[in-house]
Structure 1
Amino acid sequence: MAQIPASTPGTVTKPPPRVSPSLWIGLGVVVVYATIFTATAASSGIPYTEWFSSAPNVWRTAVLPLALGAVFLIGFLAWARWDGVFRDHNRLTGPRILHIAAAVFVAAIVVHLVFVDWAGLDPAIVAPILITGVLVGFCEETLFRGILLRGTRTKGRSEATAAIVTSIAFGLFHLTNIITGSPLLAVLNQVLLATLSGIILYSFRRISGLLVVSMFAHGLWDTSLFLPAGDSTTVSGVAGLALLVIVPAVGLITLIVVGRRERHTPALT
């Protein structure tokens, strides 16, 4: 009678994926998540421009849709059993611009937090905004720099393709704000800014090899934007310079450099 080999103590055998990672499945997950989030937020009847005007609005338009989206993403990952979503198995050395972009992004977060109107901040709105920041960081990074990035890193694609595709998809995702009542020109601006900030968030994932780092950066960034800023000319000027000029410019440079230098670099698998 043949003997069954004993497993090595301390080792854990991971079951194979139920479905192989692919770009199209990743995009499908993005579509489903966007539908869940947008439908839940739009059903509140509160326009996007008023989401963060009061604590009840934040709970209904941001926290609830994000929580439902998080449940969907966790369910998908538990079912699909994809590897490489939260952690890179290997490390790629990258261009220096990735580190510069990450440093500029952190500096911009600090600037936004410094110029928050802390004195006039309603205490009731702090908790839902912080929860929103945590959920945005978890959901959108799991979706784009996690699931979609893992799906794009297949079929022999380059790392440049993976970085650019996930950044553009992140930008286009913000088109859903039209449905929730944001003006068209504002949405187009959000799409552009999100695309350029997406490549910077990719920088955090790429440098560290850990999705949690980009989650943390993303959550802090959005929290700093959701909190009300002071209304002085100086505050508006400095915050606007960081948000609308410096960060997008660095993001554009990063996108170009990664696209040129890594177009022949095999994607991490």
Structure 2
Amino acid sequence: MRVAPRWWIGILVWIAYVVVVFTVGLLSGVPYDQYGDSGDTLFRGPVLFLAAGAVLLVIATSVLGWWKPALRDERRSRHAWPIIAPALMAVAIVISLTAGVDWSGIDGGYLAGLLLLGALVGFNEELVTRGILLTSLRGTVREVWVWFTTSALFGLMHATNLFSGQDLLPTLQQMGIAFLGGTAFYIVRRVSGSLIWAMVLHGAWDFTTFAVGHAPGAVAFGPLLGTIAQALALVFVFWTFRSKGEDAAPAESAVGTVRTSAG
């Protein structure tokens, strides 16, 4: 790493990202409540400001030299079973895409916009929170606070929607759901050891959310299952803070001490 991780570096990058995305979003002239209306509004709105955010994050990560720690956990979670929660989110996505979306109502332009939106959301929001911010916090605070801070700031990112025309109550609900979703994505990173899978799940989730909102199908069970999965993630996450091999070093040290004493 070119720059040693410091907690304030991650906060600064997070602030810069939020400012860039919010500013470009305002300059686009597309109101928040029209983002999902058509392929045109998708491209001129979220795809545009997310692309600007992606450029910022690529530059920041490269300058810091943090690509490796941002994208990979050297030590995975000691317990793998908490992956059940994000796995249920994946099931919810499949249900929604197969029965919760009326694909006849989605044309080629809208689909292209959705694909770009999903890819950019997954890449940007995971890299800035559970990538750069997570890297900056580790070594400074305990892992439980790494999870809480990254998930809380992920939720807080959505507060900007209030200034883009969204009402207060839906914004608060969105922030709370984002905190839960961020917890599920954190579990994916800790269990798999890779941020890439969290990016994929995150992007697929937002892709599905916009698709269902634009052309709802006959089955609405998918979003409910996804919400249940995210709530479970809040419980399961507490089993992910300890890493594999964490007890090995103390144990080996103790054995070495006994042998030295015996000698």
Question: What interval of TM-score do these two structures reach, taking the shorter chain for normalisation?
Answer: 0.7 to 0.9
92, 111, 136: which one pairs with 1:151?
136
Return the offset for 1:248.
Answer: 3.5
Return the offset for 1:235.
Answer: 2.6
* 1:86 paired to 2:68: no
Q: Distance in 2 between matches of 1:225 and 1:209?
A: 26
Task: Give the match's secondary structure for 1:154.
Answer: coil
Residue 40 of structure 2 corresponds to which residue in structure 1?
56
TM-score (norm 2): 0.85
1:119-143 alpha-carbon deviations (Å, 9 max, x no partner): 2222221001101100111111111
Q: Distance in 1 between matches of 2:70 and 2:94?
A: 28
222, 225, 233: which one pairs with 1:242?
225
Return the offset for 1:93.
Answer: 1.2
Q: Distance in 1 between matches of 2:74 and 2:81?
A: 21
Residue 250 of structure 2 corresponds to which residue in structure 1?
none
Return the offset for 1:95.
Answer: 6.0
* 1:21 paired to 2:5: yes
Q: Distance in 2 between matches of 1:30 and 1:163?
A: 15
Return the offset for 1:250.
Answer: 1.3
Residue 141 of structure 1 corresponds to which residue in structure 2?
126
Could you tell me which amino acid in structure 1 is paired with residue 233 of structure 2? G
Q: Distance in 1 between matches of 2:27 and 2:212?
A: 25
Residue 34 of structure 1 corresponds to which residue in structure 2?
18
Could you tell me which amino acid in structure 1 is paired with residue 131 of structure 2? G
8 Å CA contact retained: 1:135, 1:219: yes
129, 134, 144: which one pairs with 1:160?
144
Give the aligned CA root-mean-square deviation in angstroms: 2.2
Q: Distance in 1 between matches of 2:148 and 2:90?
A: 21
Return the offset for 1:72.
Answer: 0.5
1:231-267 alpha-carbon deviations (Å, 9 max, x no partner): 56x534x144224x41332133234x359x75xx98x
Q: Distance in 2 between matches of 1:57 and 1:128?
A: 9
157, 170, 178: which one pairs with 1:173?
157
* 1:96 paired to 2:78: no
91, 104, 113: which one pairs with 1:128?
113
Residue 3 of structure 1 corresponds to which residue in structure 2?
none
In structure 2, the gaps of 5 or more residues are 247-263
Residue 188 of structure 2 corresponds to which residue in structure 1?
204
Q: Distance in 2 between matches of 1:154 and 1:209?
A: 18
Residue 222 of structure 1 corresponds to which residue in structure 2?
206
Could you tell me which amino acid in structure 1 is paired with residue 228 of structure 2? I
Task: Give the match's secondary structure for 1:57.
Answer: helix
- Identity of aligned pairs, percent? 36
Could you tell me which amino acid in structure 1 is paired with residue 11 of structure 2? L
Return the offset for 1:225.
Answer: 0.7
TM-score (norm 1): 0.83
Between 69-78 and 157-166, report the one with greater CA deviation. 157-166
Return the offset for 1:46.
Answer: 2.2
8 Å CA contact retained: 1:59, 1:128: yes
59, 63, 84: which one pairs with 1:75?
59
Q: Which has the higher helix share?
A: 2
Q: Distance in 1 between matches of 2:52 and 2:29?
A: 18
Residue 191 of structure 1 corresponds to which residue in structure 2?
175
* 1:253 paired to 2:235: yes
8 Å CA contact retained: 1:42, 1:179: no
8 Å CA contact retained: 1:129, 1:226: yes
Task: Give the match's secondary structure for 2:9.
Answer: helix
In structure 1, the gaps of 5 or more residues are 1-15
